[in-house]
Structure 1
Amino acid sequence: MSQSSPSPDGGACDLESGICTIPGEDAALPQAVATPPGPKADRTRITYVTDPICSACWILEPAWRSLTQRYRDLIEVQHIYGGLLRGWRGFHDVGNGIRRPKDVAHHWDEFAERSGQPINSSVWLSDPIDSSYPPSIALAAVRLLAPEAEDAFLRRIREELFLNGRNIARPDVLEALVTELGLAVAPYRQLVENGTAQAEFERDLVRTREVGARGFPTLILEGPDGRITLHGWLGPDRLEEAFLSVSGATRRSPVASISEAMDRLSTGTSLEYAALTGQSVVVVEQLLTEAGAELHAAGHGKVWSPRSRVQEQA
């Protein structure tokens, strides 16, 4: 079996490295590049080059959420959306078996099996995504409207796609998630319709090249003790080591309480809860069950969320 599969727009998603390359970028990527220390800063700045439909970025979530939750007071995050899928028109790759959207489902299933992070690939069979540009433009709009909500919006978009199998390029899906965040739809829609959000996204496409990213995910960590660039999905320990090496921060223990983990993650996969708590998947699933967490199925994996107060009172 081939260890790499093309992304819908012609880039390749490699199962070993966990890198989805940007279209037209064929050069090999190093595992990590370290540079001399940068300016002193109170926090470590993490520039995350990503795309809302990037499966390798979804597989990074356990490590990413563990780091950003445990060290959240020491980290500032800047997202850059690099444009993984412009569209399907004219694309076919006979050699790698992808001619049309439904062919992507198998590759997502391979990523899920290899990583243990559940993926619901049904969207490619039932309501395929034509382009990752609409959700990227929506994210740019939220950034302009309420930058403090961008992180949460990106996570919810990914949950709808990778866990619920919904087409996140649809305007109605995106507007429903905007409303869920507590933001007003009218100013969001205006930013999308008048081209302001698209212009912001197009600046991100330029920034992607400026920072030297050639694939997703790319993480650029800049702290008081240095700068390091990481490519592809990686485990919680590797990401934490990289952060500690540039931040000078003292290592923190995993979240000990399952109730605190539920407060921090809310909806999360078994692998995400395991990464945050430092427990095995088997143990953390038992703890979540004992805590009364609600269990959902996604692909071949498990997803957990705290029961709502309405459910508890019923």
Structure 2
Amino acid sequence: MAQFVAETSKAGAFVRQPNHFTDRVTADGSSGYPVESGCYRLFVSLACPWAHRAIIVRRLLGLDEHISLGIVDPIRDEKGWRFTLDEGGRDPVTGAAYLSELYLASDPSFSGRWTVPTFYDTKTQRIVTNDYPQITLDFSTQWRSLHKSGAPDLYPATLRADIDAVNADVYADVNNGVYRCGFADSQQAYEEAYERLFHRLDVPSERLSHQRYLVGDQLTEADIRFFTTLVRFDAVYHGHFKANRQKLAEFPVLWAYARDLFQTPGVGETVDFDQIKRHYYATHLNINPTGIVPVGPDVSGWQTPHGRV
């Protein structure tokens, strides 16, 4: 087992690695990667919130019939993400034992961390992208010809400006903000991230007190990006990352909203609390040196009535 060592600034603030592969699959094929059923494979960790977005969107749009899914072990070793959940310890489609093999085959000069989600072209045997924000937007916009009947429009043209604005704030202070709390290596950097995180959680609490979703009257990309952090909050971020002003279950509006999303068909069944806890507590040994994974919290509350309409 190898622990994750976060990169930080001189001031002790967590710095996220930029995405390396940024090609796109497009409806007209102008990118060199055309939309095609059965051609691509999405590699994910069920523990990772960035990958979880893609899992949810793939499921909601019915793309699970067209894009295969490869799931890595939630525990990494010194070579990174492993395919030890598969028979023989190898991905059944590519034959790889580690995600790093696919990265280095696609770019032998790559020297960063091997991240999920990773979108892979099984024909060219190359990674198309690990650009997690764009992957889900392209699922909504470029893959429309393969959406199932009745699939939701998660990125409607009339709401995109508002969705993008909400996403930018939520990313900076919530999605990435919990990591900036957990991986800060100075008191000042931690407290700054902590204040920004809880300020940003208070803002949508007010908005969601009089509307069901973050943008408009329908489920959108903004809700999915927010949800993948919220569903991990009490299990790992509150304790492990010291984001502990209060638990999600102690935000009346956000807790009801999160349960509403969890109980939406295609969403809650993608959540694996066991893999989430094992990844964070057993991988970040600089934060949790014993590697002990907590038994709680009790997750039965996610299925209780949310009362939102």
The TM-score, its normalising length taken from structure 2, stands at: 0.28
Instruction: Report the TM-score when normalising by structure 1.
Output: 0.28
The structure that is strand-richer by fraction is: 1
